[in-house]
Amino acid sequence: MQGPAAGRDPDAPVKAAHVALYRAGEERAYGGGLLIADGRLLTCAHVVNQALGRHPFEQLPPPVDGLRVALPGQAAAGRLRVVVEQWWPARRSGDLPAREGDSEWSGDLALLRVVDRLPDGAATVPFGYHRYGPTAFAWYGSGHASTVAAVVVQGRTEDWLVLDTPASAQGVVEGYSGSPLWDRERQCVVGLVVSRRRERAFAIPTEALQALLPDLTPVPGPVAAGSVAAGRREDAHGTDRAAPYHATMSLQLIDPVGRILVDAADRADCAREFAEQLGVALPTGDPSAEWFVLTALTARHGIPTLAALLSDRTPGPKERLGLQIQALYAAPDELLTCAENRQLLDLLATHPARPRRIAARALPLGPALDDVDWPELVRLLESYRPRFGKVPSLLRVVEFAAAEAADMAARSALRAWNDAVAARLELAEELAEHRITATEATHGRRARTGDEPPAVQVQLWRSGATDSFGCTVRLHGADGSTVHRSFHDAPIGRTALLDLLAEVLAQVTRESEPGALPRVEFFVQKDELDLDVDQWVYRPDEFFPSVLGQDFLVVLRCPELRRPEYWPELRYRWQTRHTGDVLVQERRDPAVQERGRATPVCGVALCCAPPGTRPLRAIALAVGVPGVVWPRPGADPRAGTLLRELAAGLTASQLPRAVYEARIAAAGGEGIGRHLACVWDGPTGIPASLPLSDPPE
């Protein structure tokens, strides 16, 4: 297929077919879609569900009375009505309904038919097969020109394409789902955007669309299904399936391999070594470039192994870099050669530390992992590939594993392995800094005493006046490492939020030492300080429901009310929290604001009526008091007296525990503990604010 003609908009075809999905009467686009033929359009099922206010993974076809679509390229056409023709809800493995927290699913498509007359400018656009590399573009559901994201197709999972936007001014965020993935050079659509997880996005490829819509005929291209060059691979279920997405890489790799292995004797020598490392049979006769590439594509770690063997045979650094880039596009989820993988797993087989803990310390901004063994962790981290010049995540984890190794011989062996791989990747100098970081971090952790129990941090942003929230959730281990991170910039209901939190809290219980009381910190905005999060039931049960404030030490944090000029005072009071005073307040007391007191006020119990609580609370937090406790509105009229009794004789550091015990005492009843709110807010551990907004309409 030829590229766009000079002098015209290269994206005009896809703009004529791009569809935006709206809820009737609203201006926000919930996602995109694509006209395909006969007035029909294709989008994601979860986009339809969200636009209608349903759970994203609702399985039953929806009534669409409240759904409208528009063509951004034909603004004068207005909003059009649609009906559902076919519905494929999101399903996870085992053909079960997808659920919150799933990392991948299949289906998730809806075929809609436009009821109203389409505008004259509406058109369809061809489908094609994807290519790897910086080849595609996507738009926010509204189709606004400023939302174009330049996408790099990094690899392929079981069901989806893996997308990154490393050089794009606009990332793929909530609201891009259902929008077409556009190959500008080949003038065809190669998939639909479906999901996003952290900085990475995903798309449903053309092959999956064609499997559900046989009438959808992709244009011929270098990745045509059934191509001989495509080869075949077994899927996760052991079923031999066509792998058309490898064909482009086959064609791109065959030429450089042929240019490097021009001598027959050199080809034979390389083939023997290659076959030995992969454990495959040698071909009869002279091995061709096609044999090398297809053998590499059909074997685990075959591409890195081939690239390593050819690296020393390349004529110069430019050719070597080109080979590395082609290998990365061909197998983005493989970093190690066969030999390197075997050696590393042998070295880690007797490593006593828990792999997930080491990964969390080594990759504070990396993937959040469940409990895994070393082979699974190595496999997962191979797919987290940085740009060239950056040390891969796996090598950083190996450095931390080496620093944690108690045996000197094991430590030396792991570092020697890392040195060899870094040298192959031409990252020896960059690795040195990570080795220093790992050593310092490990020694510092061993030197610390009195580690606190695990802590969960939850940031909440309420969606208008509804009971829905945007949120981020983090789990910090007892050693301070972050072992879980998730965020929802699109609002989710309280039930969905608590389901998400329940999974994290289950992990907390596994991490906690016997007798430990894990802490849950809710970061809320200043107008949400009376939110009764401690009374939220995160696991319903007829006889014994799980209540947050009775199972965990629940506190509020509100950095928004802290005054920057009082940060030194907050640090001072935090350092003296074990000996500082707890002041019972019914009215404004200047002692709260006094800086540098020999015995500072480190805690405040507000025993006044609710109207007077708000200003006193704001002052105490502004000037750096770590602990502030008060009865929420609607509490027992005797709450002030009971709180005064509760706070008597306590140090500030004892306040959170005293509130927790009061909540336990009130379980099943109406004691003061059911109505107490507690801020326990130090100068550290404040996460960056991440409320994301929609791109401009």
Greatest alpha-carbon pair distance for the chain in Å reads: 94
Handedness of CA 609, 611, 617, 620 (dihedral sign): negative
Phi-psi label, residue 195: left if phi above 0, alpha if psi -120 to 50, beta otherwise? beta
Provide the pLDDT for residue 225.
Answer: 31
Provide the pLDDT for residue 180.
Answer: 94
d(CA 361, CA 481): 5
Provide the pLDDT for residue 304.
Answer: 92
Provide the pLDDT for residue 348.
Answer: 93
d(CA 473, CA 487): 6
**Tokens 């790897």 belong to which residue?**
132
Provide the pLDDT for residue 697.
Answer: 44
The terminus-to-terminus CA distance of the chain in angstroms comes to: 32
Burial group, residue 152, by CB count within 10 angstroms (0-12, 13-18, 19+): buried
Handedness of CA 681, 682, 683, 684 (dihedral sign): negative
Q: Which residues contact 526 (CB under 8 A, 6 or more apart)?
A: 558, 560, 561, 618
CB count in 10 Å sphere of residue 390 = 12
Tokens linked to 336: 């190690």
Provide the pLDDT for residue 334.
Answer: 84
Provide the pLDDT for residue 593.
Answer: 92
Provide the pLDDT for residue 7.
Answer: 53
3-state DSSP helix/strand/coil % of the chain, to nearest 5: 35, 20, 40
CB 504 within 8 A of CB 475: yes
d(CA 646, CA 665): 12
Q: Which helix (H) or strand (E) holds 109?
A: strand 109-114
DSSP conformational letter for 654: G
Mean pLDDT per 10-residue interval, the chain, length 697 residues? 61 91 88 91 94 90 86 79 92 84 89 90 88 83 86 84 81 89 90 87 91 78 35 34 40 79 91 92 89 86 92 82 76 86 93 80 69 84 71 91 87 94 90 86 53 76 82 76 74 89 85 82 93 93 90 94 92 91 91 90 91 92 95 85 90 92 83 89 74 42
CA angle 215, 219, 224 (to 5 degrees): 100
Provide the pLDDT for residue 538.
Answer: 92
List, for residues 418-463, the tens digit of each pLDDT value.
999 999 988 888 898 888 888 887 765 544 433 455 689 999 988 7
Beta strand pairing status for 80-88 and 109-114? antiparallel
List, for residues 623-672, the tens digit of each pLDDT value.
999 999 999 988 888 888 889 999 988 889 999 999 999 999 888 677 78
Q: Which helix (H) or strand (E) holds 419?
A: helix 408-424
Best CA proximity match to 417, nearest among 343, 311, 337 = 343
400 in helix, strand or coil?
Answer: helix
Provide the pLDDT for residue 342.
Answer: 94
Q: Pseudo-torsion of CA 259, 264, 266, 272, nearest 10°?
A: 120
